[in-house]
Amino acid sequence: MKRKVSLFIPCFVDQLLPQVAVDTVKVLRRLGYGVDYPEDQTCCGQPAFNTGYWDEARPCAEHFVRVFKHADVVVCPSGSCATMVRTFYADLLASSSLRADALALASRTFEFSEFLVRVEAVTQVGATFPHTVTYHASCHGLRELKLRDEPLQLLRQVNGLTLIEMVRSEECCGFGGTFAAKFPDISGAMGNSKAENVAATGAEFVTAIDPSCLLHLEGILGKRQAPTRTIHLASILAHESRTNEAQKDESLPQEGP
Amino acid sequence: MSTAAQRFLQDAAVKSADLMHREVIRRGMDSYDAAHLKGRARIKDWEAARQKCQEIKREAINHLDRYLLQFEEKVIARGGHVYWAANSEEACSYVKNLAARFGVRTVVKSKSMVTEEIHLSPALEQAGIKVWETDLGEFIVQLRNEPPYHIVTPAMHLNRGQIAQLFREKLDPAIASDDPRDLMAVARRKLREAFFAAEMGISGANFLVADAGVIAISTNEGNGRLCTSLPRIHVVVTGIEKVIPRLEDLAVLWPVLATSGTGQGITTYGTLIGGPRRAGEVDGAEEFHVVLVDNGRSQLLADAEQREVLHCIRCGACLNICPVFRHVGGHTYGTTYPGPIGSVLTPHLNGIKEFKHLSYASSLCGACTSVCPVKINLHHHLLQNRRNATEAGATKSSERMMFRAWRSAMLHPRIYALGGWSMRKALRILYGLGLAGSILDPMRVWNRYRSPVPLPSESFRAIWRKDRKQDRRKNLGAN
């Protein structure tokens, strides 16, 4: 067996989009990794941190560091939550007693596509997904983790998948965490602009490495009754050929962001 | 909530739903994007150029005292005057008194955001002085009694039909054409009268060059040179952060500013002025005054964490790429400096209590930071402003309580899991009753623009636990 991977599943993925986590596990196991999910994990602290409540975010970040301290490598199917650990823990925990552990942990924490392509040099994961797909470049993955081509490299290796480029694929979808709650009109307008760009591609699916963008976009597309659905990169990579798919346990949702 | 915040929310709601407005802005920004990309491609190594600009500005800001004094000394040696204004009032009074001393009745202005910041034109007009904005875009928004929409392109929110209509109402009812060349000719004729009448010209400065003791101005319309050379008195009003160490620094700063501002390799006019007209010179003002405006900048300088915000060269690139700016437009911000740099800077200049909302009005996408030619980490400064607002006790107590409760849950995995489960369960019941979006729906703000979130019966941790308990991994794809 290859190295053991500790899964960091963002709180909202755990609660609202468990399929993304299930699919992440599937892909990693198919590639031969041992997968561990430390059950004491909760939230990395980003919602409080981004809203300015650093004193409230800090103990959550410290909890996170304690939970993952002994992990060999941490993989997260969200560019934004991985960024929180990688980039912002250094600021948030600057004067914490766990600072050194946090910095060490940050250097072993990776977003899912980043782990596969950059760390492990894997682009072929044996997936089949005979659909048209367009890619939205989620902001934190793109600009904080500099993941521009990694997700696309994985998508290009998927059997049967047709990638359609979207205009302004690098413009924010408008989610932004508490931004969506504090400025619903701006967030909604930005989401609708993104939805228009998605629609112009005519693709069946829009994918991304950040489930938060997809949660927001799924809602916007749903409200518009648009035909395009959202799907997380891990869920595309989890799809195998049709025969295998038929054997899947019914209790697990087939798709979804 | 501050009145500025309330106004912002209202205007943002109106503007973000205004599809006509969005289309005008989209068109303007699309042509900027194309020009900007082309401009960047002309520079052999754009990242190296940004790096160099950052280093120049960092050196200047870290030794602001030395470079400003060096600049002042050179200007005075050539017979110019330098006035240090601590705030808007001091700056405006100095210019007003100067105008009174020389009996000035007409002022022509070249484009300057600092004069907008200190509200110089209203101050002069109150003293009975006629003020003409001579940059075409500024002239247009002045006729409309509006502040500039954008720091580089003040009238980008208007199309030529609207401008033709405005000129008919304000300048000449006989204007028949909305051809930009004809409209420009009307403005030019009108402004030519102002240039010949004015006793005082007011300009800003893009840079103050310390070793040469000159101001550097980048313009495209030629109005800047007329303002600074025709009238008897030339007043430069500028921020103290505009100083750069050496004349040779312009070799990279000028093209980078032009590229970021408009996509040009360099602006049509680059002007250097170091003092009044000297014996034997054929043009230039007889009186040369530089007003160095602080207005909160020293305080920002004292803040080691956010000092680099003073690196800004006001190119407007962060506004152009900002998806929030593109959707709400420049006027919605209600500040002199709109867009990302304005959202970072305004709480420092005008107070965190009144303007903290701007630091939250961002999805933190970081597009601004990625284009800033002097590499200001803009979206990280927004985060710092948010933290400062919380520490200053400027946020709502209900919000603080909510995050405290959230923290308690997150420190106890079982409470967190139970909380998540109950929330999903409650929402499923509520939505089953058809109450999505109703007053009882805690997600109603979300549901205003979106269909409801998925509410799976099991969380991932439940699936994982079951999977482990049954020691059966097929659900999770193990062999």
pLDDT tens string B133-146: 999 999 999 999 99
Interface mutation target, options B407, B457, B458, B467, chain A, most CBs of A under 10 Å? B407
Residue B479 reports pLDDT greater than 50? no
Mark whether B347 and B414 lie in a shared domain: no
Q: What's residue A238's pLDDT?
A: 98
Q: What's residue B470's pLDDT?
A: 78
B13 interface with A at CB cutoff 8 Å: yes
Residue B107 lies in a domain: yes
ipTM value of the model?
0.94
Q: Chain A residues with CB inside 8 Å of B431's CB? A: none
Mark whether B225 and B255 lie in a shared domain: yes
Q: Which of B345, B376, B395 is at the close of a domain?
A: B395
> What is the pLDDT confidence band of residue B2, given thresholds at 50, 70 and 90?
confident
Interchain pair B13, A191: CB under 8 A: no
Residue A254 lies in a domain: no
Interchain pair B475, A22: CB under 8 A: yes
Q: What's residue A255's pLDDT?
A: 35
Q: What's residue B478's pLDDT?
A: 52
Interchain pair A29, B476: CB under 8 A: yes
Q: Which of B375, B395, B415 is at the close of a domain?
A: B395
- What's the average model confidence in pLDDT over B181-198? 96
Residue B83 reports pLDDT greater than 50? yes
Residue B462 lies in a domain: yes
Interchain pair A172, B365: CB under 8 A: yes
Q: Which of A119, A142, A157 is at the close of a domain?
A: A119
Residue B371 lies in a domain: yes
What whole-number distance in Å separates Cα of residue B277 and Cα of residue B327? 47
Q: Which of B367, B395, B423 is at the close of a domain?
A: B395
Of A35, A139, A189, the CB nearest to B327: A189
Mark whether B21 and B58 lie in a shared domain: no
Mark whether B247 and B378 lie in a shared domain: no
Residue A203 lies in a domain: yes
Mark whether B71 and B205 lie in a shared domain: yes
Q: Which residue of B has its CA nearest to A254?
A: B475
Residues 438-477 of B with CB under 8 A from A: 445-456, 458-461, 463-465, 473-477
Residue B141 lies in a domain: no
Residue A257 lies in a domain: no
What whole-number distance in Å separates Cα of residue A26 and Cα of residue A36? 12
To the nearest whole angstrom, how far is the Cα of A116 from the nearest Cα of chain B?
18
Buried b (16+ CB within 10 A) or exposed e, A188-203: bbbbbbbbebbbebeb
Mark whether A14 and A65 lie in a shared domain: yes
Mark whether B216 and B70 lie in a shared domain: yes
Residue B194 lies in a domain: no
Of B324, B364, B458, the CB nearest to A50: B364
Position B264, amino acid: Q
Q: What's residue B62's pLDDT?
A: 97
Mark whether B355 and B459 lie in a shared domain: no
Q: Which of A91, A119, A147 is at the close of a domain?
A: A119
Mark whether B52 and B72 lie in a shared domain: yes
pLDDT in tens, chain A (257 residues): 578 999 999 999 999 999 999 999 999 999 999 999 999 999 999 999 999 999 999 999 999 999 999 999 999 999 999 999 999 999 999 999 999 999 999 999 999 999 999 999 999 999 999 999 999 999 999 999 999 999 999 999 999 999 999 999 999 999 999 999 999 999 999 999 999 999 999 999 999 999 999 999 999 999 999 999 999 999 999 999 765 444 444 333 333 33
Interchain pair B363, A175: CB under 8 A: yes
Q: Taking a C-beta distance cutoff of 8 angstroms, is the pair B217, B203 a contact?
A: yes
Q: What's residue A214's pLDDT?
A: 98
Q: Taking a C-beta distance cutoff of 8 angstroms, is the pair B177, B164 a contact?
A: yes
Interchain pair A189, B16: CB under 8 A: yes
Interchain pair A180, B399: CB under 8 A: no
Six token digits for residue B463: 């699936």
Residue B310 lies in a domain: no
Mark whether A165 and A60 lie in a shared domain: no
Q: Chain A residues with CB inside 8 Å of B362's CB? A: 176, 179
Mark whether A158 and A197 lie in a shared domain: yes
Mark whether B53 and B123 lie in a shared domain: yes
Q: What's residue A241's pLDDT?
A: 74
Mark whether A236 and A203 lie in a shared domain: yes
Q: The domain containing residue A156 runs over which residues? A: 132-246
Q: What's residue B477's pLDDT?
A: 57
B320 interface with A at CB cutoff 8 Å: no
Residue B456 lies in a domain: yes
Chain-wide mean pLDDT for chain B?
95
To the nearest whole angstrom, how far is the Cα of A44 from the nearest Cα of chain B?
9
C-alpha A183: how far from chain center:
23
Q: Taking a C-beta distance cutoff of 8 angstroms, is the pair A232, A211 a contact?
A: yes
Mark whether A137 and A216 lie in a shared domain: yes
Q: What's residue A254's pLDDT?
A: 33
Domain CATH for A240: 3.40.50
Residue A251 lies in a domain: no
Residue A125 lies in a domain: no
Mark whether A99 and A205 lie in a shared domain: no
CA–CA distances in Å: residue B385 to residues A93, A112, B79, B381:
18, 31, 43, 6
Residue B9 reports pLDDT greater than 50? yes
Q: Taking a C-beta distance cutoff of 8 angstroms, is the pair B274, B214 a contact?
A: yes
- What's the average model confidence in pLDDT over B98-107? 98
Phi-psi region of B158 (alpha: psi -120 to 50; beta: other; left: phi over 0): beta
Mark whether B222 and B112 lie in a shared domain: yes
Mark whether B239 and B281 lie in a shared domain: yes
To the nearest whole angstrom, how far is the Cα of A107 from the nearest Cα of chain B?
20
Residue B169 lies in a domain: no
What whole-number distance in Å separates Cα of residue B315 and Cα of residue B334? 19
Q: What's residue B469's pLDDT?
A: 83
DSSP alpha helix (H) spans, B198-287: 223-229, 250-261
Mark whether B219 and B93 lie in a shared domain: yes
Supply the pTM of this predicted model. 0.94
- What is the residue whose two structure tokens read 């924010």? A172
What whole-number distance in Å separates Cα of residue B191 and Cα of residue A137? 48
Q: What's residue A1's pLDDT?
A: 59
Provide, rounded to the nearest whole percent, the portion of chain B with pLDDT above 70.
98
CA–CA distances in Å: residue B443 to residues A180, B9, B282, B440, B460:
11, 19, 71, 9, 22
Count of domains for chain A: 2
Count of domains for chain B: 3
B389 interface with A at CB cutoff 8 Å: yes
Q: What's residue A252's pLDDT?
A: 38
Residue A99 lies in a domain: yes
Residue A253 lies in a domain: no
* Interface contacts A/B by beta carbons within 8 Å: 214
Residue A33 lies in a domain: yes
Mark whether A206 and A164 lie in a shared domain: yes
Strand B214-219 with B269-273, pairing: antiparallel
- Determine whether B479 is exposed, middle or buried from the number of CB atoms within 10 Å of its CB (0-12, 13-18, 19+): exposed
% helix, strand, coil for chain A, step of 5: 50, 10, 40
What number of helices (H) and strands (E) belong to chain B? 24, 10
Q: Taking a C-beta distance cutoff of 8 angstroms, is the pair A77, A209 a contact?
A: yes
Q: The domain containing residue B223 runs over which residues? A: 47-128+199-299
B401 interface with A at CB cutoff 8 Å: no
